[in-house]
Structure 1
Amino acid sequence: MCILMTRRYTAVAEIQVQKPNSDSLTLDSNAASPAGGDTDPNSASMNLETQATVLESPALAMKVIEDLHLEDTSAFKPHFTFTGWVNSLFSPPPPADPAGVALSAAPLRRDRLLKQFQENLEVKIIPGTRVIEVAFSSSDPNLAARVVNQLVASLVNYSFQSRRTVDTEASKFLESQLAEMKADSDALEQKAVKLQKQTGVVQVAGSGDGDGQGQAYSSTLDQLQKATAAVSQAHTNVILKGAIYEVVKSGDPETIMGLPSNTALAGAASGMSNDLAVISSLRTREATLNGQINELLAKFGPAYPKVDELKADLTAIQNSIKEEIQRMRDRARNEYVVAQQVESGAKQLYDAEKQRADEMNDKAVQYSMARQQADQSRSLYEKLQSRMKEAGVLEGFHSSNITVVSPALAPSAPSRPNIPLYLAGSLATGLLFGCIMAVVVDLMDSKIADIHGLESLMGEAPFGILPSFAAKKKGLRLSGHSFALPGREAIAALKDPHSAYVEALRALRTTLLSTRGGAPPQVLLVTSSTEGEGKSTLSSNLAVVLAQQGKRVLLVDADLRRPNLHVLFNSSLEVGLSTILAGQLSVDAMGQAFLQVEAVPGLDILLSGPIPAYSAELLGSSKMRQLLDLWRGYYDFIILDGAPVLPVTDSVVLSSQVDATLLVARYQSTQQQSLDLSLRTLRAQLGTNRHIGVVLNGVERTADAYYKYYGFSNSTYYTNTKRLGGGSEIS
């Protein structure tokens, strides 16, 4: 692909965009200072983006195309494109350009050249700098360099012309606005002077805060302050007089005599000092007469003449006290009424002064606004007038803020095709496609490969996890005659009794023997979802480890469709379970169909026999139930190696006659939907009365599922021991 591609050469130039010069016509007061210019980072970035956009504009592109006569070069000649050919098939051709007209008047030629020019042009701002990189690609390296340099020169000229045009237009605009602004400024100044006179505010020179304007003084505000103080004082006096009047109005001499001792009312009650002194004197005389009367009553009794005389004096004194209190009450009421009248008058005066102050405040606000407008208008006028004087001088000193850092040179090597990049892209694409396919395959793969997924599918933990093992091809001897090879699988419980697989079988045996809810299951059915999942290997090895514990075990090949135990134990199918169920061999004579393994005392094997026509009917017959009942009396455990659940119904029929069912699933082989359907089929047949356990078979000890179940992946206890040699004797 790279060989067929046209070589493209890229010429690159770098230009630096300086800060905007301070010689442009502006109203900024800092523009004339030496440090003036653009200091805002956002504005600087915007200036760079603006120049980059101008470089990519069609106007500059057209100028370069016309200046360099690019239309006549071979690089810009029309050439075939697949996209253009497809568009021509589905859309009518546009009208042709007039002959002999300029490029600007020929839309088809112009658009084609502009599109080709902009496709080969790349403008990039270098981050963190004021440098812009301009690159152009062409099949002619010299043409690429000339285009870049001409484009940069056009940008410099455009920048110079645009700045000069802006200053000229601004100068003309200022000339037309100065006269109008002068009239507006004078009118605002007159308005401010008029409003100042109406406010009544006097500026006292030399007494201000140093700002040159002096301190403002207003008689209206001064009167308002005095009226406010008078209202406050009158209101306080009303409160005090009212309190004294309430005390005196009660008529209680004790309370009245306490007025001088009250710090809050002592000052207001000072005008009643004479009345208080008279009442005090009368109360003293009253107390003296009461004492004399009590003394005479104690000595002489109530009939004594002097007592009546003193009582008459006491009555007179008490009447005098009451009269004096009444006079104080009248005086306090009069003083309270007068205080209220004084307060009302002070409030009226305050309201009048406040109204005058509000009116003055409104005028003061208007004056402040008018003064501010007048000052701003004057300042703007003076600034514009100053800039106007500079405008004529500035027009002769314009300079561009664009500097060519590095002009474009004709490249010596092509920039495209980039062979290392294409190779890397191809490798990355292949890797990505491979990863995607691996993910797709993994998502579509529904094989059992995770313990948690298996538990979610079953609703409980698996009954056991059996690791994979390599079969060792050694011979055994059955029924007194030896055989050389145990078919497809070896009996690992005999060949490698200390292997991880056999230890897992012993753990499964322990689980079976310690089943909760009473005695362990006596009759076990070992089946699977489909063939090839290891059910025959599990049933034969489980029978061996159960017999090695001293139990009497019967291993029955109940797969009457495709039996496997005869291959595993290298025997014939002349007689077996099918001949007994079919009545061809009596129950009394069925002992001749049993095989024994001399290395495992207590283990009997009953093969399937010839394959019958109706296996499901035989396994579901009453005779099969009678056999199981008979065997229960002779054996501790009866293990039935059944047919797969999904292809045939034999194991489903047989599952109702056993105590427990072990459903074997092979790691990374059994499909989840197959296992789920098998479980639902067996549960529909058995309900909840009998237990169904799943045994996951063939798990690699290095697999994550093995580690998650056992918590380890290897152990020194799994050692190779001396194998049995030559075979075992069978009686």
Structure 2
Amino acid sequence: PAHSIPGTTVPTISEKPVAHLTGQYAEAHNFDFRRLWHSLVERIWIVAICVLAGLFLALGYLARTPKLYQAHTLLEVEFQEPSFVPTADYTTRTRSVFLASQEALKTIEQNLTNQTLLARVVRSEGLAQDGGHAVLGQSVVANKSSSATERTEPSQAGNKTQNASGVTTFTPLEEALARGMVGMVTPAIRRGTRLIDLYVTHSDPAMAQRLAEAVGREYIRNSIERRASSSEDALRYLLEEEERLKRNLQKSEAAATEYKAKNPDALQLGGSAAATGSQGAGAKGGLVEDNLQDINTKLTGARGDQIRLEGQLQQVDHIGNNIDALLAIPFISGATMVADARAKIIQIEAGITTLALRYKDKHPRMMAAKASLAEAKVKLREAVLAQRPILRNTIEQTKALEASLQQALQNQQGVAVNLNRTAIGYQELARQAETDRALYESVLRQIKDTNLAKDVKANAVSVIEHSPLPNFPVSPRPTKTILLGLLGGLAVGLAFVFGVDALDRSIRTVDQAESTLGLPVFAAVPDTTDEGPVSRLKRRTKAFRRSNYRVVVETPESPAAEAFRNLRAALSLLGPEAERKVSLFTSAVPNEGKSFTSANYSLALAQQGYRVLLIDGDLRRPNMHRIFRFPNARNNSDEDRLPCG
């Protein structure tokens, strides 16, 4: 890797301003991809170790985790419960609306993981007989005596499924097994359908299949039993209500019959047998009501006749003796005398017409016929004029009839008022009896429908796809587990590398050195040996005679030698030669390349023809005599003088 020259000192003649040592805080907002990449390459072994650790952890998880198999059963929810009895009551309509909603599917999905349902599964499949070992893989029973008792008496526990209040009870072992099975059962509604997928996970594939079938079957059986229980409760209540309504009906009919026997006139006003319990006797009216209706009808007819006749009399008085106009009045034209006279005139006119075909006007027979016609017209006129007093007399008779009918109506109304007091009590009893009868018949119909519906073994939920025996485990998944382990190890390794890099404040690139120190970098020299790039510790252990410390002389075409020549050229441009005769190479800690840099820079100047004096200022561990293969005849504190050139 490339390193900057940490010991380079810039002469004071440089006009470049010195910035404050802000370090990495000055460029924290810039993303340095190259630095991250170098940090990753340097510590790639850490990432490899983390990836291998993740792989081993995944393999250990696969080795220790038991295999789980998943059984699948498919349920379908109908829009309404199938029924062989046509019912249209409010409860049935409400339940049909609920089953057609999405909330019904959610409710069924939640009930499939209900602990009570799972306890029924445990009981029906006999899973508590071995202490729960087949279900959970270990016994749930605390002591052996209780376990033995429950295993030897499973039938007794199965028979005692209900307490005195009718609620199903379970043993503590069955409840514990049901709680353990909650995590095994996973229902899921298929989106946009009325299908529910029922998944059961277990380490034993046969047990998973058995539980999947049992959960669906027990849910359907439980729903049918709950509906049958509800129907039995409703039937019991309806039978009790039927007995009560029957007693009420008998009492009301007996009261109506007794009242009728005490007050026989009550039937003359309101209906004869409305409350006696007989069918088809409710539309016949009483005697008083019939008389009132008949008199009222006659009175209305008489008033109508009077108004009509008075109108015609006014027309007769207005017309006078105009026979033709009088014949247009219905009363006159309909009179018997007038009708006979008109018929006779018509007959005579017909005879005259016949005679006119054979005889002339002066013929005796024609003259006799005309004389008869004139006489008939005179009689018609007399008959028409005689109808006026007859019309007046008819009007008077109509008025008298109306007065008599009015009096009869008043008399009959008085009778009705007197009878009404007696009929009110009877009508109330009759209405009560009819109400009791209607309620009693309605309850009888409901009893019949409920008795038929309670025996129907159908449910809105049905199993349309049974669970096959699972052949492959669903957990753990080797490929997924190993991939997650590798990715987890990679993520941990990268996080560790980048975290260490974020906490590292060392300078690694030329750009970092310039931005951190605010000083220019004149050259970047690669750290090399004969065997290639090695660590600083390894380089110190090698004998100096075998190392490539003098790269400018020994490998003049190497990148390191070219870097020192670039350093020589960069420093030569800093100012006049008289002001840059002395260069100091220093660092804060040992083994940072002071000797390496100063020796090769001195050799580069010597190659250009300068006379160079190299002074080793390291008083504790001087190295220049080793680099140039000279014996150190003086003290460590003496200066090593090496004339070059």
Asked if Structure 1 and Structure 2 have the same fold, meaning a TM-score greater than 0.5 normalized by the shorter chain, the answer is no
Q: TM-score, normalised by structure 2?
A: 0.40
Higher-helix-fraction structure: 2
TM-score, normalization: structure 1?
A: 0.36
